[in-house]
Amino acid sequence: MRHLLALAALLATTGCAGIPGAQTVGPVAACQFGEPMVETMLFLGMARPGGSVSRFEFGEFVEKEVATRWKEGFTVLEGQGLWFSEQRKITEREPSRVLIRFHDGSAAASADIEAIRDAYIKAFTQDAVLRTDRTTCADF
């Protein structure tokens, strides 16, 4: 999971406009196109004690926990996380998934995101699920 923290620091360097309830990461600016929104990314590790999360299990999780909360839409990306293990003194590799959602930054949107994080941690015995938020401009 340490690899997720390094990636979060990199991702948190840009932003566009302030949105109520969202933490502004960059300078406040007007959108030339679209509307100010929050882009949230959740980084989900696929390794777990005794094995890994299968494609089937992940698909079931997305249908049950994510699609029911993010009806407006979202994106799932497959990734490969790398991080240095202080304990083993090697670079660890872990398959991962990234969920991306654009939303209004409301308390209700944040509560849904937190519910997904909590559900993933419990379902797949994870230490953490990294969440990044940044303000951006989006036009659909």
For residue range 4-43, list pLDDT tens digits in order.
433 333 333 334 344 444 444 444 368 998 999 999 999 9
pTM score of the predicted model: 0.78
Cβ of 79: how many Cβ atoms within 10 Å?
A: 16
What is the model's pLDDT at position 125?
96
pLDDT < 70 stretches in the chain: 1-29
Would you state the pLDDT for residue 80?
95
Say what the pLDDT of residue 29 is: 62
Beta pairing, strands 130-138 & 35-45: antiparallel
Residue 40 · residue 101 · CB < 8 Å: yes
What is the sign, positive or negative, of the torsion defined by CA atoms of 84, 88, 92, 97? negative
Element (H, E) at 60: helix 55-61
Spatial distance between the Cα atoms of 47 and 121, rounded to a whole number of angstroms: 12
Q: In the structure encoding, which two tokens stand for residue 127, read together?
A: 């230490």
Backbone angles phi, psi at 61, to 5 degrees: -60, -45
Q: Which residue has the tokens 């939303």?
A: 103
DSSP letter, residue 48: E
| DSSP at 100 | E
